[in-house]
Amino acid sequence: MHIRSRFFNKVNKYKFYYLLSAFGLLYFLIYHYIPMAGILIAFKQIQPFMTIQQMLEAPWVGLKHFITFVNGYYFWNVLGNTLAISFFSLLFSFPAPIILAILINEIQGNKFKKAVQTIIYMPHFLSWVIVAGLVRIVFSPSDGIVNQIIMSFNHKPVFFVGENQYIRSLIVGSTIWKETGWNTIIFLSAITGIDQTLYEAARVDGATRFQKILYITLPGMKFAISLIFIMSCGKLLDAGLERVMLLYSPATYTKADIIDTYVYRASFGDMQYSFATAVNLFKSVLSFLLVLSANWASKKLGEEGIW
């Protein structure tokens, strides 16, 4: 009774905080946790247009769909493309907002700083449909500005979106342009939390601006950097369904076909719902293992992990 009383006292004390978080919790409950019951489909043989009752009575097939995927013709191609696109996105997209946040913090004028922040946040609010359209216009082989510059040097136009050697760079580059500004928010918040007396003491000691960044700003951002890195590792296999689907084509499948696009075609194209669910579950399990590994590595390096 004493434990129950303490629990309800705490709930009553922080009731407004719980109320504020209720909508977020409901979102995750409805759209992320309840649908997890659907992973049972991965271990059954489900046919299109089955009723819920028929799905429950469908025969169990165990790990059949997982084995089919791993032994399939497209396994190494989609896994390799997913890892390649995600790795290069992490390699270039992860440090970009950190560097940009430090540069914005070094701007002296508040009005100019706010203007810069507003401008770099704007691409985040554009849908991937618009971003993909802009990419296709800019890199169009007929009248795109990039090919206009290439042709001005007496070279032939390049069909960037339709060639395997350029498609990954376009996907990663468009992601950096769209999300870097928005991702600076958390790092700017971390910089704001640094004790300003440290900068004053460093200035008195004659430290240069670069030394202040190196010995005060970056260490002050350490926890935020560690946290975002662990979360980014969890998304390493999430190369981005929407951005890839809007930019790739059958001509670039060998370099741009990822697990998510493969699952999309298997489910909505071939109607292999059980197989598609198994592939997606395979990706989720690997992502979870990556988060555990990144968290373990972070603690081994002396940093704080997520748990």
- Per-residue confidence band for 99, with pLDDT thresholds at 50, 70 and 90: very high
Of the pLDDT bands very low, low, confident and very high (cuts 50, 70, 90), residue 178 is very high
At residue 294, does pLDDT exceed 80? no
CA distance 179 to 126: 10
pLDDT for the residue 124: 92
* Segment 98-104 long-range contacts (CB within 8 Å, at least 24 positions apart): 98/187, 98/221, 98/225, 100/180, 100/181, 100/184, 101/184, 101/187, 101/188, 101/191, 101/221, 102/187, 102/191, 102/213, 102/217, 102/218, 104/184, 104/188
Q: Which whole number is the average pLDDT over 270-280?
A: 88
Rounded mean pLDDT, 181-207? 89
Q: Give the orientation angle of helix 75-93 with respect to helix 95-105, to 10 degrees.
A: 10
N-terminal to C-terminal alpha carbon distance within the chain: 30
| Total residues found in the chain within this entry | 307
**Superfamily name with CATH number, domain 75-300:** MetI-like (1.10.3720.10)
Q: How far is CA 228 from CA 173, 222, 239, 302, 304, in A?
A: 20, 10, 16, 16, 12
Q: Could you tell me the two tokens for 287? A: 């992502």
pLDDT at 177 (0 to 100):
93
Instruction: Quickly state the pLDDT bin for 306 (edges 50, 70, 90).
Output: low
Q: Which residues contact 300 (CB under 8 A, 6 or more apart)?
A: none
What's this model's pTM, rounded to 2 decimal places?
A: 0.82
Distances 90 to 7, 95, 175, 196, 288 between C-alpha atoms, Å: 42, 8, 10, 31, 17
Quick one: what percent of the chain has pLDDT higher than 70?
Answer: 96
Per-residue confidence band for 302, with pLDDT thresholds at 50, 70 and 90: low
What residue segments make up the domains of the chain, in order of their start?
Answer: 1-39, 75-300
Q: How confident is the model at residue 135 (pLDDT cuts 50, 70, 90)?
A: very high
Q: pLDDT for 24-68, tens place per residue?
A: 889 989 988 888 888 888 898 888 887 778 887 888 888 999 999
